[in-house]
Amino acid sequence: MQHRPRKRFGQNFLADQQIIERIVNVIAPGVGQVIVEIGPGEAALTTLLAASGAELHLLEIDRDLGASLEQRFALAPNVHLHRGDALQMDLSALTSGQRFRLVGNLPYNISTPLLFHALRWSDLIVDMHFMLQQEVVNRMAAQPGGKAWGRLSIMCQYRCTVTPLFTVPPEAFRPAPKVQSAIVRLVPHPKPPVHITDMARFERLVAQAFSMRRKTLRNCLRGLLDADAIAAAGIDPGLRPEALDLSQFAALAERMNAD
Ligand code: SAM
């Protein structure tokens, strides 16, 4: 019997075999690799990933899907199923501290929290390939100066090189989502591109700046940095946050440290 897609788990299953193959081709799985897949669902990608001989860890929250995955891959020694919420899982423990690749056609309702969760292990991650809403991929890969540039772009680009690969139309899924989707590749930097002494302060600064993106820095950073401190970082306090690049946000965060 066919599984009835559950909205609360963001279930839009890939149903177009050509697109499934195209995605697995860009991932290029192979023997000797450790791959973690978030949300294998009905195993659209999983079947090809498992056939590559890679050591595969599947994270699935849906009990019914978990049961059928267990049956389906019972005889595959390279496939390991972890049932539960990926957001609660320690990815380094699952893979016994080995470096791993991360893939997934992510549930769109929790794609941003899942991304931030994954980024915690960026020093162990070889690369990531995700299907996301195209609008989210645009924000991840955005450059300063435009509307799409914001917290997500900055946090992703601080950790990784972000490369959008191709778009996927709604008809490729069952049920069809209302929006276009896209495949994105993230490759963690071997060394951060800018120096940040205190990550928590940097995150607070970026979050506050973009919570009022129409205001000038002087106004939107009130309580964190005054106009003199902003100017001392070499930045015009009359600019809007979307004009600043990653290194300028890092410079502002260092000013907070100096306070
Ligand atoms: N990979 C399949 C495909 O491409 O057809 C399914 C993709 S579907 C968009 C998202 C999958 O993630 C579903 O199987 C869903 O049950 C699972 N999922 C949703 N939330 C999850 C969570 N917090 N942890 C693990 N899996 C989750």
The domains found in the chain, sorted by start residue, are 7-188 (3.40.50.150), 199-258 (1.10.8.100)
Residue 220 · residue 165 · CB < 8 Å: no
Index of the ligand 1 atom closest to the CA of residue 9? 19
What is the Cα–Cα distance from 22 to 138, expressed in whole angstroms? 20
What is the Cα–Cα distance from 52 to 230, expressed in whole angstroms? 52
pLDDT of residue 2: 77
Overall average pLDDT of the 173-181 stretch: 97
Q: pLDDT tens, 83-118? A: 999 999 999 999 999 999 999 999 999 999 999 999
Is the CB of 37 within 6 Å of ligand 1? Answer: no
pLDDT of residue 209: 96
Q: What is the Å distance from ligand 1's center to 39 Cα?
A: 3
Nearest to 256 by CA among 117, 235, 116: 235
Overall average pLDDT of the 179-195 stretch: 97
Nearest protein CA to atom 10 of ligand 1, as residue: 107
Does residue 53 register a pLDDT over 70? yes
Confidence category of residue 1, pLDDT binned at 50, 70, 90: low
Q: What is the Å distance from ligand 1's center to 1 Cα?
A: 19
Overall average pLDDT of the 48-67 stretch: 98
Overall average pLDDT of the 31-54 stretch: 98
Residue 56 · residue 47 · CB < 8 Å: no
pLDDT of residue 258: 52
pLDDT-above-70 percentage for the chain: 98
Q: Ligand 1, residues 4, 7, 8, 13: which to mutate, most atoms within 8 A of Cβ?
A: 13
Does residue 257 register a pLDDT over 90? no
How much of the chain is helix, strand and coil, in % rounded to 5? 40, 20, 40
Overall average pLDDT of the 118-132 stretch: 96
Is the CB of 242 within 6 Å of ligand 1? Answer: no
Query: Tokens in use for 85?
Result: 């919420």
Average pLDDT of the residues of the chain: 96
Q: pLDDT tens, 200-244? A: 999 999 999 999 888 999 999 999 999 999 999 999 999 999 999
pLDDT of residue 213: 85
Q: What is the Å distance from ligand 1's center to 204 Cα?
A: 30
Alpha carbon 143 to chain centroid, angstroms: 17
Does residue 15 register a pLDDT over 60? yes
Is the CB of 105 within 6 Å of ligand 1? Answer: yes
